Amino acid sequence: MQTDWTPVALSHDIPVASAAPGRIGDTALAIWRSASGRIAAWSDRCPHRGMRLSHGYVRGERLSCIYHGWSYGEDGGCKRIPAHPDLTPPESIRVPVFACREASGVVWVAEGQPAGAPPDLAGFRGLRSLHIAAATGAIAEVFGGDGPVLRVKLGPVAVIALVQAFGDETMLHLMAPESCDLATLDALSDAAEALRRNIEAEATA
Amino acid sequence: MSVGAMKDQWYPVGLISGVTEEGRDSLLLGEPIRIFLDGGTPAVTGEGERPLPVELRYGHVWTCPGTPTRPLFDIPEADQLGRRLVDVGVCRVRCSPLRAVENFLDIAHFPFVHTDILGSEPHTEVTRYEVGIREDVDEVWATKVQFFQPQAAKSAEGGITTDYMYRVCAPTCSVLYKTSPPMPGEWDVIALFVQPLTETLCDVWPWMALYDDDASMTDLIHFQQLIFVQDRSVLENQLPALLPLDPGMEIPTRADLTSVAYRRWLKRNGFTYGAQLVAA
Amino acid sequence: MQVTEEFVLEGKLGSADLSPWLLRHAGKLGLAIALRVQTDERLEMTLSGAPDLLDAMEMGCLLGPYDIWVDSVARIRSGCRNGG
C-alpha cells in the first residue's frame, strides 16, 4: 500500500487536552489534542529554548511549553510570551506544523503536501502501540511480510500492524477488528506484549 | 570534544561528610576519578592514581583535573555567624552540566516548572534587571532581579516579591542570593555546584547558607530537592542536549539576559565542554 | 508600538556568516532590517518592530554565530509610531 501518510499514534492514546511525543523519520513530534478535540502534530521543540513541547500543557485550543509558558495556536504561531505579557508575538515565531489526520482511530502525519487521504482501515480500531527495541527486519520475519501496513494474525485473530521503522527500533501500532469484545481485546493486548518480548529476545540472542 | 580551558577549573566531586576509606569511583570531564580518605583526609586521584589538587569548602570536596588557574571562588557568607549551612546531597541529571547552570540562572520558568512554589500565574512578567561581568574576579553577576513568589522559601508564608542576585563563579557553579523571609535585610544563599561527569551527564550538588532557625534540616533538604526534581524534568528534555553557544535555533528575549551573559562568558573563556558551537 | 532603532555592533565581526545570520534572526523576530555598514570591527543596521522584539534582537546579536565576538551593542532610537 503506497501512502504519503505515516501512522504516528493511536487516537485513544492522545486524550482531549493532552500532548504526547511521537516521531516521523528523524523528526521528534509533539502530538496533541485541543480542548475541542482537534488533533495536531508539530515539531517537538519550543523555538524559544528547545524544550520538548510534548511535555507541555493544553489550554483551550493552544499548546504551551512547560518551560516558560510560551503558547502556540492551531497554526503553530506563538500567541503569548508570559515573561513579556504586553508583547503581541510576531507571526514569524512559529513551530513547524505537519499535516495530520485521524482515520479509523489512527493519527496519521505527513511531511510536505501529502497526496490523497490516509489509508482506509474500516472495520478496525486501535488496540495499542508498542515500542520494540529491534530492527524492523526482525518484525518482518515474525509476521512474514514487510511494509508500513501489514495484515497479520495475532493468535487466532486477524489484526493490522502499522509499522514505523527507525533503524534498530520499531514502533508498531496494532489495530483489532471492531467486532472484538473486551475479553478478546485484553487477550490481544497480552499477546502483543508477548510478541514484543519475543522479538526483542530474538533480536538480542 | 577537547576539554580545553575547563580542565583547569574547580569542580565539586562529593560531600566532605560522605567520603569513606574505601572510596568511591566517579567521573570528571569524562575521565575516571577516585575520591577516598587518605589518612583521614579526603583525597582525589585521576587516571593512573595521579593525585589531583583538593580543596574542602562549602561542605564539598573540590578538585581540578588540570592546573588551577585561579583559587576556588569565595562565598564569604559561608563564614557568617547565624547562617545554617545545608548540604542538600546529589541529584544526577542526564543533561549538559552547562544547561543545569543556565536553568539555575533562569527566573521566567518559576510559574510553570515550580508552580505555586517559586512562581504562579498571572505573575509571569520578568522586569528589567542588570547583568555584567565583574572583571576583578571574572564572574557573571545579575542584579536587581525581582520576581513574585507564592512561597519563596521553606520559611515563607504567603506571596512576596523576592529580590535576587545571581553570580556565576566557575563554569559549572552558580550562587544565588535572595531575600531571606525571616530577615528581610539579609540574603539567603543558595548555590548550585555541578560536577560534569560527561558532556551530557552531571551530578548536581546544591548547597545553602540560610537564615532559618525554625525548619528542620530534613525539611530544608526536601524543599530544595523538590525544586530540583522539577527542574530535572525540563533539563532532560531540551533539544539539543548540548548548550548552544550560537542561538540561531533559539529565540532569546530580554528575560534570558542572564543566560545570554553566561553563554557569552563561556564562549569568551573557551569553556565549551558540554556546549554546542554551531546552531543545529 | 513600533519603533525604529539604529543598532551599532562593535567587536570581532569579520565573518561571512554574520550578515545572513542577522537577516535570518531578524526575520524570525518579524523585524524589518536594513544592514548599512559592515567592517571587520563594526556593523550598523536599522531595525523596526516592537520594543521587546528589538531587545530580543540585541540578545541574539550578543551571541551571534560562533565565529564572531560582539563587544558591545549600542542602540539609538530614530523613530516611533503607535499602533501597527
With contact defined as 3+ CB pairs under 8 Å, the chains touching A are B, C
Nearest to B246 among C55, C56, C63 (CB): C63
Nearest to C50 among A47, A87, A91 (CB): A87
CB contact, 8 Å: C18 with chain B? no
Residue C83: predicted pLDDT: 59
Best CATH choice for the domain C2-81 from the list 3.40.50.2300, 3.30.70.100, 3.40.50.300, 3.30.1180.10: 3.30.70.100
Residue B185 has pLDDT above 90, yes or no: no
Instruction: Show residues of chain C in contact with B261, CB under 8 Å.
Output: 62
Q: Which of residues 198-257 of B touch C (CB under 8 A)?
A: 245-248, 251-254, 256-257
Nearest to C25 among B248, B261, B264 (CB): B248
Residue B153 has pLDDT above 80, yes or no: no
CB contact, 8 Å: B265 with chain C? no
Predicted TM-score (pTM) of the model is 0.95
| Per-residue burial over B130-159, b = 16 or more CB atoms within 10 Å of its CB, e = otherwise | ebeeeeeebbbbbeebbbbbbbbbbbbeee
Domain boundaries, chain C: 2-81
Q: Work out the minimum CA distance from C56 to partner chain B, whole angstroms.
A: 4
Cα–Cα distance for residue pair C58/C67, rounded to 1 Å: 17
Residue A102 host element (H or E): strand A97-103
Best CATH choice for the domain A6-110 from the list 3.40.50.2300, 2.102.10.10, 3.40.190.10, 3.40.50.620: 2.102.10.10
Give tens-digit pLDDT for B200-209: 999 999 999 9
Question: Domain B75-276 belongs to what topology?
Answer: Naphthalene 1,2-dioxygenase Alpha Subunit; Chain A, domain 1 (3.90.380)
For residue B188, the cross-strand partners are B178
State ipTM: 0.95
Give tens-digit pLDDT for B199-254: 999 999 999 999 988 889 999 999 999 999 999 999 999 999 999 999 999 999 99
Say which amino acid occupies A5.
Answer: W
Domain boundaries, chain A: 6-110, 124-204
Q: Crossing angle, helix B257-269 and helix B97-104, to 10 degrees?
A: 140
- For cell 545570520, the residue is C21
**A6-110 and A124-204 share one fold:** no
Question: The dihedral of CA B234, B237, B239, B240: what is its sign?
Answer: positive
Dihedral (C-alpha) C11, C16, C17, C19: value to the nearest 10 degrees?
Answer: 70
Cα–Cα distance for residue pair B247/B261, rounded to 1 Å: 12
Cα–Cα distance for residue pair A150/A175, rounded to 1 Å: 10
Task: Look at residue A202 and give its three-state secondary structure.
Answer: helix
| Cβ-based neighbour number of residue A201 at 10 Å | 10
Question: Domain A124-204 belongs to what topology?
Answer: Alpha-Beta Plaits (3.30.70)
